[in-house]
């Protein structure tokens, strides 16, 4: 079974930095786009950043200039470097990826979510 597991969350003061990582495992043929979403209390889940299979990235306006998404294809990992964190960045962050197996077309997989809390 394909799984995505996030790590690196926690509590940080405003202005600080945090790095999230997500490792994919299982019977994976290839990974296409990889993404980070987040969901704050009382709000809908929103797309934070996307990176394509060839390394092209896109960001939500609210995090541009502060967050950087990257991937390591050999390790089947995606990371999110978060700098200059603000209290409004507080949310559960979810790893997401389009993954193709040997027997099935690409489909979305989700991590379990990891808490990021930014204190003011």
**What is the arithmetic mean of pLDDT over 65-74?**
96
Q: What is the DSSP letter of 15?
A: T
Q: Does 17 have pLDDT greater than 90?
A: yes
Q: Does 26 have pLDDT greater than 90?
A: yes
Confidence of residue 103 (pLDDT cuts 50, 70, 90): confident
Task: Look at phi and psi of residue 42 and say left if phi exceeds 0, alpha if psi is from -120 to 50, else beta.
Answer: left
**What is the arithmetic mean of pLDDT over 1-24?**
97
**What is the arithmetic mean of pLDDT over 50-60?**
97
pLDDT > 90: percent of the chain? 95
> For residue 6, what pLDDT is reported?
97
- For the chain, the straight-line distance linking the first and the last C-alpha, in angstroms and rounded, comes to 40
């Amino acid at each position: 079974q394909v799984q995505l597991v996030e790590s690196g969350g926690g509590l940080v003061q405003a202005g600080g930095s945090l790095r999230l990582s997500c490792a994919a495992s299982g019977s994976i043929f290839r990974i296409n786009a990889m993404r980070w979403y987040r969901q704050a209390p009382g709000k809908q889940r929103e797309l934070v950043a996307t990176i394509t299979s060839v390394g092209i990235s896109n960001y939500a306006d609210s995090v541009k200039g502060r967050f950087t998404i990257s991937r390591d294809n050999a390790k089947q990992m995606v990371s999110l470097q978060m700098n200059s964190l603000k209290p409004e960045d507080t949310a559960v962050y979810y790893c997401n990826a389009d993954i193709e197996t040997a027997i099935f077309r690409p489909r979305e997989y989700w991590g379990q979510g990891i808490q990021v809390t930014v204190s003011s």
